[in-house]
Amino acid sequence: MNGLYIVTPDWDDTERLLRVSEQALQGGAALLQYRHKTAGPELRRIQATALQALCRRYARPFIINDYVELCLELDADGIHVGGTDAAVAAVRTAVGPDKIVGASCYGSLELAHAAHLAGASYVAYGGFYASKVKKYPLTTSIEILAQSKAEIPLPSVVIGGMTQQNSIPLVAAGADMVAAISSIYLADDPAAAAREFADLFSTSN
């Protein structure tokens, strides 16, 4: 796992969501996570189905945030769970050994170690910066990335107020993927914005 990890905003406009997501994939996004915390079950299923089809056209992994049953129903590539969502071990048991399971670890190596032992495929740290979308209870230190790389044999994802510029030191410190929402979905040119993120990895790793 390496590169730009895009996370969808809470948009009910499916056509807009698909249009911008495709532009980001064209720009080089390596993975897409469907996250819509306010959608009802019908809208969530419609959007997830359409986004998965889009990701498959571009041969990029498609991950669903939190909803294990929807992940299994669609046979999505994986699931991401937060600190207050279902336990990683339970999710791994539910989806089996072959799917991606991501875990939010905030600023805690202890949570990351536990996620690794429970069967996570990657660990996500954040927030590092103020986010327009997600509210974090703490600020994560950049030092956690080197510690994670030394202690935990899993890719690390960074999230929280990510821009192309402020991601540079995090990638240099060892982040394998940068997760972005607003910097892509609210960009004037989402494809160009995605390319700028993707270029960080072509030059740094």
Residues labelled catalytic: 35, 104, 134
Q: Rounded to 5 degrees, what are φ and ψ at 129? A: -135, 170
Residue 143 identity (one-letter amino acid)? E
What's the alpha-carbon Rg for the chain, to the nearest Å?
A: 16
Full DSSP string of the chain: --EEEEE--S---HHHHHHHHHHHHHHT--EEEE--TT--HHHHHHHHHHHHHHHHHTT--EEEES-HHHHHHHT-SEEEE-TTSS-HHHHHHHH-SSSEEEEEEET-HHHHHHHHHHT-SEEEE--SS--SS---SSPPPTHHHHHHHHH--S-EEE-SS--TTTTHHHHHTT-SEEEESHHHHT-SSHHHHHHHHHHHHHHH-
